[in-house]
Amino acid sequence: MKELSMATKKAENTPSKKSTNPLVFVGVGCLALLVLLGIGGTLVMKFFAKNIGQDLVEKAIESKTGVKTNIEDLEKGKMTFTDSKTGATVDIGSNSVPEDFPKDFPLYKGAKVTSSLSGAQAGENNGYWLTMSTLDAADKVVSFYKTELPKNGWTLESTFAANEMTNYGVSKGTWKGSVSAGKSDDQSETQIIIILGEE
């Protein structure tokens, strides 16, 4: 009897384990499900935005403006717009010289292309805007263009210099435009801007 009463006292002194409320398990399960749905939903949305969203954006622009749009290479920094009525095309690209840029226009060796824009109307009246940068001094770049443009048959129509920027008005045949060189805003590089249009 003594043993039975000791066992009863021991059982009374041992703290009883509380059972976990089933709602806690339901709450944790719901939270895990929401996290998984959130991750899965994000991946699905990225897939649709990349593959289907591109078409939707292109069609939205075309329906509002009447301009055919190609943003297929947007990740590479390129877009193309084409006016279906006039045939005018504008290509916006970065880090490369347009393929049909005049081959006889001198480009400063070692300069990196930071942006480019080209356009044409029904294959005629081509135009270009090319921005490049180099670590070389602005005077060296200006001297290069002063020498190399005439060597390649381009005429220096005018010269304008102000605020550490030199601009040459240039022409050759049906081409007219300008080339400018000067220090960037932070003075760390020399910027070169070439604008050419065909008349």
Report pLDDT digits (tens) over 167-182.
Answer: 999 999 999 999 999 9
**Judging by beta carbons within 10 Å of its beta carbon (0-12, 13-18, 19+), is residue 52 exposed, middle or buried?**
exposed
Q: Which amino acid is at 104?
A: D
State the pLDDT at residue 183. Answer: 87
Q: Up-side HSE of residue 30: CA atoms within 13 Å toward CB?
A: 6
Residue 160 covered by a domain: yes
Asked if residue 95 has pLDDT above 60, the reply is yes
Which has the closest alpha carbon to 114: 41, 184, 40? 184
Q: Are 95 and 117 in contact (CB under 8 A)?
A: no
Confidence band, pLDDT 50/70/90 cuts, at residue 41: very low
H or E element, residue 188: none
Residue 164 covered by a domain: yes
Number of domains in the chain: 1
Asked if residue 196 has pLDDT above 60, the reply is yes
Longest CA–CA span in the chain (Å) reads 122
Residue 135 covered by a domain: yes
CATH number where 169 lies: 3.30.310
Residue 34 covered by a domain: no
Tokens in use for 130?
């090319």
Residue 93 covered by a domain: yes
Residue range(s) defining the domain that contains residue 121 = 86-198
Residue 91 covered by a domain: yes
- More confidently predicted of 77 and 35: 77
Average pLDDT for residues 63-77, to the nearest whole number?
61
Does the model's pTM come out above 0.75?
A: no
Residue 157 covered by a domain: yes
Alpha helices in the chain (DSSP H): 2-13, 22-51, 53-65, 138-151
